[in-house]
Amino acid sequence: MQVEHLRNIAIIAHVDHGKTTLVDKLLRATDAFRSNQQIEERVLDSNDQERERGITILAKNCSIEYKGVKINVIDTPGHADFGGEVERVLKMADGALLLVDAFEGPMPQTRFVLRHAIDTGLRIMIVINKIDRPAADPERAYNDCLDLMADLGATDEQLEFAMEHVVYASAVNGYARRSPEDDNNDMFPLLDMIIDDMPAPEVDECAPLAMQCVTIDHSNFVGRIGIGRVFSGTLHEGDTILVQKNDGTTTTSKIKQLFTFDYLGRTECSEVGAGDIAAVVGVEGADIGDVYTDPEHPVELAPILIDPPTLSVV
Ligand code: GDP
């Protein structure tokens, strides 16, 4: 996948503001654009099943394919207890959707993740959701978002970008509009805004390999799976890589299998290029913060914050 055909976006939302519903509707709206849709089961319709599907979406990242562009959607935990994790996962993104309920406006959890997104330098688009609610006040919610961004130290560039990139949505009804007066009934204005104006990853494909593991998955069959963004170079299945651990030690490891995000699942592939997000199988003891790099030309990346161990109070 060429880097100009990639977008990595995080979604920042307070619980219940409609993240699951929005992602679900974006996936449905783009079904027709997918190249390998035959392998996927069809969208389910009853409410219960819908709920289950939502849980699946939230459990992991997913990707949307639209007009030849692959949009990796990175879920962010919306709670301050996950401070370290928020910082880490935002490192995979170039932009973020700030999703806010048109009635409630931005909430404390929104503020927390938004601060990190601003500090990370992400481009932020605003999605005012639930505009169908009778008491919704989309303009007020939008202005509150901009005020909050300014409060949290957004740069002039970030503020200007947010002002120019807003949609008014009713995720539950499947539409996103560039202005509350529009009457389109689909999600395409939001999808177009993302592929047209969210930045593609800025990466050096020719530089030596550097990937940082920001989350770990686990499978009974293959063990620990390291997930992160490839910052430079290309990962290949079968490659021997240098693994730099957080404690400063290094080991070498062979990549047994490689995956990228694909719709709600993952697809195995033989290589993953700079800018994309990879899931790597084969690194013994894979851990958060591990850097995978080229043994001949090792690249140093800044260590990342690890959550302090959780204290259990009896
Ligand atoms: P999440 O916690 O952010 O993932 O929120 P969900 O997507 O689960 O939505 C929370 C609730 O808000 C659910 O009952 C949704 O049906 C409802 N909801 C989501 N989007 C909209 C919307 O655009 N309008 C209205 N009225 N309700 C919505």
Consecutive H or E run containing 298: none
Site to probe by mutation for ligand 1, drawn from 172, 187, 190 as the one with most ligand atoms within 8 Å of Cβ, is 172
| Residue in this structure with the two tokens 């909050």, named with its chain if needed | 148
pLDDT(50) > 70:
no
* Pairing between β-strand 175-177 and β-strand 257-262 as defined by DSSP bridges: unpaired
- How high is the pLDDT of residue 215? 87
The backbone torsions φ and ψ at residue 273, rounded to the nearest 5 degrees and listed phi first, read -90, 170
How do residues 3-44 score in pLDDT, each as one tens digit?
999 999 999 998 899 998 999 999 999 987 666 554 344 333
**Contacts for 45 with CB less than 8 Å, ≥ 6 apart:** none
16 is in an annotated binding site: yes
Cα 52 from chain centroid (whole Å): 20
The SS3 call for residue 82 is helix
Torsion sign across C-alpha atoms 275, 281, 285, 287:
positive
Q: Which has more pLDDT, 62 or 131?
A: 131
**Per-residue confidence band for 57, with pLDDT thresholds at 50, 70 and 90:** very low
Q: Measured between alpha carbons, how far is 121 from 115 in angstroms, rounded to an integer? A: 10
- How high is the pLDDT of residue 311? 47
Nearest to 70 by CA among 268, 270, 262, 272: 262
> Is this prediction's ipTM beyond 0.90?
yes
Q: Measured between alpha carbons, how far is 230 from 259 in angstroms, rounded to an integer? A: 12
Average pLDDT value for the chain: 87
- How high is the pLDDT of residue 63? 92
Question: Per mean pLDDT, which of 15-19, 134-138, 219-223 is the most reliable?
Answer: 134-138
**Contacts for 78 with CB less than 8 Å, ≥ 6 apart:** 12, 13, 14, 15, 109, 110, 112, 113
pLDDT(221) > 50:
yes
Ligand 1: which atom is nearest the Cα of residue 171? 23
- How high is the pLDDT of residue 42? 37
Site to probe by mutation for ligand 1, drawn from 12, 14, 16 as the one with most ligand atoms within 8 Å of Cβ, is 16
- How high is the pLDDT of residue 307? 58
Q: Measured between alpha carbons, how far is 300 from 298 in angstroms, rounded to an integer? A: 7
Question: Rounded mean pLDDT of 294-306?
Answer: 83
